[in-house]
Amino acid sequence: MSHGLAVTLPPRRLPNPPNDGAEKTMSNPTHIVHAMLAGKDDKYGALPLLLLVLTMVTGVVDAVSFLKLGNVFVANMTGNIVFAGFAAAGVEQFWSPVSIVAIAAFLAGALAAGRLGTLMGDRPFFHFTVATFVEAVLVGVAVAVSITTLDPGAERARYLLIVLLALAMGAQNATARRLGIPNLTTTVLTLTLTGLAADFSSIRTNPQTARGLAAVGAMFLGAAAGAALISGFGVSAALGLASVLLATAGIVAYRHSSSLAPKQLTP
């Protein structure tokens, strides 16, 4: 019988199992962007990315309206208010009712989308889907008008395109407002830029700041793409791109329509 001293070894610690979810997120750029835009609680799902697509559409259609329809915006109404003021002061270059027509059509689109939002209730993806498909139809009609008209800048075609595009942008803006995701209005960037400057130190940790930066980039990209397509291929090509983006966003939203519970986006 042995009387040697017993040696007790510390229990062996097994390595922690790998966090497959975390590794997947860190290794996939799409997951990284999604996490950055949605935030820690991820309560918005894919909506931030979809609204960025609509922000790019804004850049495309405003490139069309300003470069080819004559000193008018169909999405950014602040510019039209300023242009209308120039016209009221007698500046001949801006003496045209196009700004007033664009504002009126934009408000009509926003009014219709606001009523739609009331009917949709707390079903954010379904609301986004319906509104985006309606917008895609309006832009699609604008594509048809630009194709069948030899000169999109001709007076009748010009006003028809302004009305169609401003209706679509008004509906888009009202839908984004109803969803209420910070820094993703899809049209107005003045407050977004202010927020980026004021909160720049938190850009790596604050999803709202990251969304704002992404929105600026999306509108810049849309405007550049729209201008390039207009220059190289014409108005129809630029509006065709906007139609494809809208249809894609609508299809993705439809597939996610049941991913959020009712009232999940309600503050």
What span, in angstroms and rounded, lies between the C-alpha atoms of 62 and 206? 29
Question: Which domains does the chain show, CATH number per domain?
Answer: 44-255 (1.20.1250)
Q: Tell me how many degrees the CA angle 163-164-168 measures, rounded to the nearest 5.
A: 110
Q: CB–CB of 150/20 below 8 Å?
A: no
- Predicted pLDDT of residue 177: 92
pLDDT, averaged per 10 consecutive residues of the chain (267 residues), comes to 51 47 42 48 77 96 94 92 88 82 96 90 86 96 90 84 97 93 85 80 70 91 97 95 96 76 45
- Report helix, strand or coil for 220: helix
Instruction: Please tell me the distance from the alpha carbon of residue 216 to that of residue 35, in angstroms, as a whole number.
Output: 18
Q: Residues 135, 165: contact at Cβ < 8 Å?
A: no
Q: How many beta carbons lie within 10 A of that of residue 147, not counting itself?
A: 14
Task: Give every CB contact of residue 148 below 8 A, 6+ residues apart in sequence.
Answer: none
Pick the closest to residue 158 from 81, 242, 59, 235 (CA basis). Answer: 235
0.75 surpassed by pTM: yes
